[in-house]
Amino acid sequence: MHKVHKGLTADGAGLAGDRVVAQGSAARVLVAATARALRGEDCADLGHTGPASRFPGAPEPVRRAAVSRAAGRVALTVDQVGEVDAARVARWFVDQYPRRSYPGVLIGSPHGAAAHLAVALGVPWLPAGFEMTAHWSDGAVDRPGAALEHGGALADRLLAGNPDVHLRQVHCPASRGPLTGVTVSLAARWRVLPAAYAQFLTERLSAGAPVLLVRDGRTWPVSERGPGHSFQVGCPASGLDPVDFHPDSHALRQVLRAVGGNVAQWAPPEVSAPSGDAEHGMESGFELAARDFASRQGHPLHRVLAPRPAALSAGVADLYRRWLRTAGKTGDRLVVECGRLLDPWQVIRAGLVPYWCENATRRSVDEAEWWLAGSEAFSSVDVLPEPPGMRSPALAGLPQWLAVAGFGRRRRALDRTSARGYPVTSVPTRRATEVLRAQPYDLPAPPPLGAAEALSVLRDSGGHQGLLVS
């Protein structure tokens, strides 16, 4: 029997969830966007531009210094890490949703298409973990071993008060750029069902409402430091492969050169699990606890396993197209979103089909092109490339993004604001809202999808993508 545990921190103590969860992190943005959509609101108030946007033409050392200073202002201090209360973070997530009964819930790994699926079903999306950043005052992008040592001390402080989470430390200069040398990135994953989630499922789900677990199935080499703390060099979101983080890799030399590092100092820790779950995976204890709880409460539980983000993005895009057409709409206008640039409510209001790219890497954009090439043509394609604020050999260039827009028969639009200064600038989430607000209305919105219908379509359309639905 898997129990629901409460945090050890006294009720009301610890840092507020808003302070703990990293600004701009996937879980934070997706909960905020989904909750707003369920209230009938868009994301016009979400996000702020990063420091890189203010120095698009500045020399790299100036830009790196600005980014580092900004990161230091929002990262947790060493003392604050010891004040983190994961139970309070879970409460902060659920409290963002309107207090009413829901016909189901999505829980799991962060994914933009999961947020769109939740909105189509009229249900909340809750993450199986959250990300934090903490100060590393004497850090360096090219010293992963030192990062592990510093992260281990932070993990000991945090785990002392939060034994029901697993901390995955990620040292990835290819995706985090110069931030890797001034902050430590910690992905906390619940190993049990948080008390706030259990209360939410008990009080807010309709009788017999389904629970959908969405799991990121990607793997990555992992170094296990000890109980509750693991470490990985690089990450799938970098657009690179594990071998690209080897000291002899040409890609690594390019990455480190771009962020002011030296490959001669690069000495990653020894790997103990060559194919462990990547940072956005789901802890097996969390999944088992959710299954046990749902079974006891009479809620059927379904599992959606995505071997890569594009599989779920394609499945949900196909689902939206069928849903819109069943409601008498064209389902012929596509928006290709990227990273934090999404707005589920505006997508619904305008009757658009959403396809979400995890980031601006060539790998993500390649997948979008392949899906478009195999799909019935769209009359219009709007593309929202999120500039990552840094350069990387794995990034897609603007010509490739323009090629995605080129799949539109009549309208082919690439957001100029996002493209201006790409890839070294940054834009806020609300930029997606500003672009999508210009789309014509297509109301009323279709009636909410039923979970059974959605799962059936995902099985049919996502099977060839490797999407597993059970």
Q: In the prediction, which pLDDT does 65 show?
A: 67
Both tokens of residue 295? 């079974």
206 has pLDDT over 90: yes
Q: Kindly state the average pLDDT of the residues 196-208.
A: 97
Structure confidence at residue 116 (pLDDT)? 98
- The upper half-sphere exposure of residue 371, i.e. CA atoms within 13 Å in the direction of its Cβ, equals 28
Average pLDDT of span 67-80 = 82
With 70 as the cut, is the pLDDT of residue 5 above it?
A: no
Strand partners, 187: 131, 168
How much is the pTM?
0.94
User: What is the pLDDT at residue 461?
Assistant: 87
d(CA 404, CA 406): 5
Average per-residue pLDDT for the chain = 93
The per-residue pLDDT for 220 is: 98
Give the Cα separation of 272 and 440 in Å (integer): 53
Residue 386 has pLDDT above 90, yes or no: yes
User: Does residue 470 surpass a pLDDT of 60?
Assistant: yes
3-state secondary structure 91-159: HHHHCCCCCCCECCEEEECCCHHHHHHHHHHCCCEEECEEEEEEECCCCCCCCHHHHHHHHHHHHHHHH
| Residues 245-302: tens digit of each pLDDT | 999 999 999 999 999 999 999 999 999 999 999 999 999 999 999 999 999 999 999 9
**pLDDT number for residue 8:** 39
Residue 138 phi, psi dihedral angles, 5° rounding: -110, 35
Backbone angles phi, psi at 254, to 5 degrees: -65, -45
The conformational region for residue 104 under phi > 0 = left, psi -120 to 50 = alpha, else beta, is left
pLDDT band at 170 (very low <50, low <70, confident <90, very high): very high
Q: Is the model's pLDDT at 370 over the cut of 60?
A: yes
